[in-house]
Amino acid sequence: MSGLTDIDRALLLRAISLADNCPPSTTAFAVGALIAMADGRVLGEGWSRKSDPHVHAEEAALADVADPSLLAEATIYSSLEPCSTRASRPVSCTQHILIAGIPRIVYAWREPSLFVDCIGDELLRAAGRDVIFVPELTEAAREPNLHLFGYQ
């Protein structure tokens, strides 16, 4: 498993900031995601509800990638652990990542069981993916979602 680099930290912070673009919702998290190469070149970015009310950030980032052949060497950065179960669609973000062949996942916040029980981290690791959870950035990722927990 590779360690967290300065580029990783900067890109994860950028993914977290993308969550600020999310249309408000009381039934879904505000999440930002981006996909990048090891040198920091961003291939795609997205956020929850970017193109429709049910799109997740990882889906939007994948849809933004112009050259999917690069995904086999890319990292996806997400403010929230990729979902393993969805109420709105049959394919989870964990499944999308596995299908796309992305080998490395970096995220800031374990998904709380507010809407569904999530085991995205475990499923990705079990599939042999390099998963890096960055708990010191959890509070920043949680910030645009405080209203879901009765704050703000």
Active site residues: 58
Q: What tokens appear for 12 in the block?
A: 């994860």
Cα separation, 150 vs 88, in Å, equals: 23
Closest Cα to residue 43, out of 22, 24, 15, 19?
15
Contacts of 110 (CB under 8 A, 6+ apart): 81, 118, 121, 133, 138
| Contact assessment for residue 78 and residue 96, using Cβ atoms and an 8 Å cutoff | no
CB count in 10 Å sphere of residue 15: 32
